[in-house]
């Protein structure tokens, strides 16, 4: 064994499947998943008008191994928008929380997800074990996430931390960087939980303006996590940076990395994950890149069966250095529709821009937009830099993007122009928890 502490999620999974503390095997997990897949499909067929229609002709008993799940149709975000409450397997009075997400998509309607008290308890339980990776009893954790309201993400995380004997300090999204840093100093914060770009802004501001705060560990969540941001947080604070993979659809908890920082250990007692070809829907070979598809195994209110997440990633083959049998998902490379094509020169994603731009000293955030003309495309970056950095590094931003091969090739061939507008950050951040994306103007 490498000496890396086994992820606490393994103990959590053993508890969830009733395997005791002796450790679990892949066989035990697979058996649990098969039983829960059948139970979920049976429950959905029996109680949900949407699934009764969508899964007509499918029987739970036909699932002889998890791979048989591939015979069932997918569920999509558009299904959730269109059919909403028809997904429900319980009465509205059994629902303790409804989460409404963006109203984008082809129908223009919002997505609504319904959770029962037991569903929410499952999330708190997962958060408790996930946070045990990076906190110790008596620590103080600043929660830089929305949802301080009862049942919101901040509230569920706070409940999980209290069970660990850790003190949660709910804060919400960062609006004023100096104010949040002052809270960190006054509350003697050990750990931050927040969105990558917001935590980066705190670190860079503290590094150049003070006050001196020390941070032991950080959990980055909600958005994909650029390596450039992790490196900078480690440099500024000398802290350990963990990452969480989750989404509202999953009841927030999908997976968390361990002390080996070698991919997200998946929440396999409560979810069955597949990776499929985004075009054909066929499973990709183990380790291949594709779209992440999730089936909930224990959800009562609104189970999801083969739900297409839109996240492009891959499973990491082999056993983790921490020794856990839980499978690991690699960081999300991009969204399914998040690749900007530059024709014969290739394509680029927001993750490519993130790696190049967040490596620029003093940069704390940016937006990106693409215009297309008949003969060429234009990429426009609007970046926010700290005072002092704007003058020094602002003029070089367009050149920095040459680190992305498709951008460099298209620019050299005259098929792409890159323009960057720079503003100086005075300490305020744009609030908003929405997932970032490259805007396509035409
Ligand atoms: Zn591990």
Gap from CA of 322 to ligand 1 centroid (Å)? 4
pLDDT of residue 220: 93
User: Is 126 part of any domain?
Assistant: no
Gap from CA of 326 to ligand 1 centroid (Å)? 8
User: Is 128 part of any domain?
Assistant: no
Same domain, 289 and 345: no
At which of 282, 309, 335 does a domain end? 335
- The number of distinct structural domains making up the chain is 3
Gap from CA of 258 to ligand 1 centroid (Å)? 5
pLDDT of residue 105: 47
Same domain, 182 and 225: yes
At which of 310, 335, 360 does a domain end? 335
pLDDT of residue 2: 56
Gap from CA of 54 to ligand 1 centroid (Å)? 37
Gap from CA of 320 to ligand 1 centroid (Å)? 5
At which of 291, 318, 335 does a domain end? 335
Same domain, 190 and 231: yes
Contact 58, 322 (CB under 8 A): no
Gap from CA of 154 to ligand 1 centroid (Å)? 25
Gap from CA of 137 to ligand 1 centroid (Å)? 22
Same domain, 323 and 344: no
Give me the torsion for CA of 177, 180, 182, 187, rounded to 10°. Answer: -160
Q: Torsions phi, psi of 364, nearest 5?
A: -120, -5
Same domain, 380 and 424: yes
Burial of residue 46, with CB atoms counted within 10 A of its CB: 0-12 exposed, 13-18 middle, 19 or more buried: exposed
CATH code, domain with 42? 3.40.50.12780
pLDDT of residue 431: 59
Give me the torsion for CA of 162, 164, 169, 171, rounded to 10°. Answer: -90
User: Is 229 part of any domain?
Assistant: yes
Gap from CA of 10 to ligand 1 centroid (Å)? 9
Same domain, 295 and 329: yes
Ligand 1 (ion): residues with CB under 5 Å are 7, 258, 260, 320, 322, 324
pLDDT of residue 130: 86
Same domain, 89 and 149: no
Same domain, 114 and 19: yes
User: Is 205 part of any domain?
Assistant: yes
pLDDT in tens, the chain (442 residues): 457 888 988 888 898 888 876 678 999 999 999 999 999 999 999 999 999 999 988 887 788 888 888 989 999 999 999 998 999 999 989 998 888 776 554 456 788 888 899 888 888 988 898 898 899 999 999 999 876 677 788 888 999 999 999 999 999 999 999 999 999 999 999 999 999 999 999 999 999 987 788 999 999 987 788 999 999 999 999 999 999 898 777 776 789 999 999 999 999 999 999 999 999 999 999 999 999 999 999 999 999 999 999 999 999 999 999 999 999 999 988 888 889 999 999 999 999 999 999 999 999 999 999 999 878 899 999 999 998 898 888 888 999 999 999 999 999 999 999 999 999 999 998 755 556 888 888 7
Same domain, 409 and 383: yes
Gap from CA of 6 to ligand 1 centroid (Å)? 6
Same domain, 157 and 188: yes
User: Is 250 part of any domain?
Assistant: no
User: Is 125 part of any domain?
Assistant: no
User: Is 394 part of any domain?
Assistant: yes
Same domain, 145 and 240: yes
CATH code, domain with 176? 3.40.50.980
Gap from CA of 269 to ligand 1 centroid (Å)? 16
Residue 330: give the domain boundaries.
Answer: 8-119+258-335
Measure CA 355 to chain center.
17
Gap from CA of 7 to ligand 1 centroid (Å)? 5
pLDDT of residue 148: 67
Same domain, 263 and 236: no
User: Is 147 part of any domain?
Assistant: yes
Gap from CA of 193 to ligand 1 centroid (Å)? 20
pLDDT of residue 223: 72
Gap from CA of 329 to ligand 1 centroid (Å)? 11
CATH code, domain with 397? 3.30.70.1350
Q: DSSP labels for 247-295?
A: -GGGTS--EEE-TT-SSEEE-TTTEEEEEE-TTT-PBPPTT--EEEEEE
Gap from CA of 335 to ligand 1 centroid (Å)? 25
């Amino acid at each position: 064994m490498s000496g890396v502490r086994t992820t606490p999620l393994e103990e959590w999974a053993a508890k969830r499947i009733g395997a005791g503390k002796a450790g679990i095997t892949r066989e035990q997990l697979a058996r649990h998943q098969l039983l829960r897949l059948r139970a979920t499909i049976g429950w959905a067929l029996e109680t949900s008008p949407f699934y009764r229609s969508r899964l007509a002709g499918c029987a739970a008993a036909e699932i002889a191994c998890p791979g048989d799940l591939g015979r069932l149709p997918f569920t999509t975000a558009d299904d959730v928008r269109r059919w909403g409450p028809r997904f429900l397997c319980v009465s509205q009075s059994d629902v303790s929380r409804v989460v409404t997400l963006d109203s984008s998509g082809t129908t223009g309607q919002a997505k609504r997800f319904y959770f029962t008290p037991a569903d929410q308890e499952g999330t708190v339980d997962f958060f408790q074990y996930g946070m045990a990776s990076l906190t110790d009893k008596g620590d103080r954790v600043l929660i830089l996430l929305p949802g301080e309201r009862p049942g919101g993400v901040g509230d569920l995380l706070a409940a999980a931390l209290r069970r660990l004997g850790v003190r949660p300090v709910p804060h919400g999204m960062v609006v004023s960087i100096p104010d949040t840093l002052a809270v960190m100093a006054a509350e003697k914060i050990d750990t931050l939980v927040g969105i990558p770009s917001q935590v980066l802004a705190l670190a860079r501001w503290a590094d150049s303006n003070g006050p001196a705060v020390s941070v032991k560990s950080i959990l980055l969540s909600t958005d994909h996590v650029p390596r450039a941001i992790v490196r900078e947080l480690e440099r500024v604070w000398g802290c350990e940076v963990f990452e969480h993979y989750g989404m509202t659809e999953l009841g927030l908890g999908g997976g968390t990395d361990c002390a080996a920082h070698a991919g997200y250990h998946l929440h396999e007692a409560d979810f069955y994950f597949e990776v499929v070809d985004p075009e054909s829907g066929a499973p990709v070979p183990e380790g291949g890149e594709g779209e992440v598809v999730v089936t909930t195994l224990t959800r009562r209110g609104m189970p999801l069966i083969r739900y297409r997440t839109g996240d492009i990633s891959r499973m990491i083959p082999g056993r983790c250095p921490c020794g856990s049998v839980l499978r690991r998902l690699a960081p999300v490379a991009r969204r399914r529709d998040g690749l900007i094509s530059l024709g014969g020169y290739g394509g680029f994603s927001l993750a490519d821009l993130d790696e190049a731009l967040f490596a620029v000293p003093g940069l704390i955030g940016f937006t990106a937009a693409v215009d297309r003309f008949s003969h060429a495309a234009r990429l426009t970056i609007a970046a926010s830099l700290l005072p002092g950095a704007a003058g020094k590094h602002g003029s070089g931003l367009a050149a920095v993007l040459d680190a992305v091969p498709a951008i460099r090739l298209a620019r050299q061939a005259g098929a792409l122009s890159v323009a960057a507008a720079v503003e100086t950050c005075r300490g305020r951040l744009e609030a908003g928890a929405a997932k970032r994306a490259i805007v396509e103007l035409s």
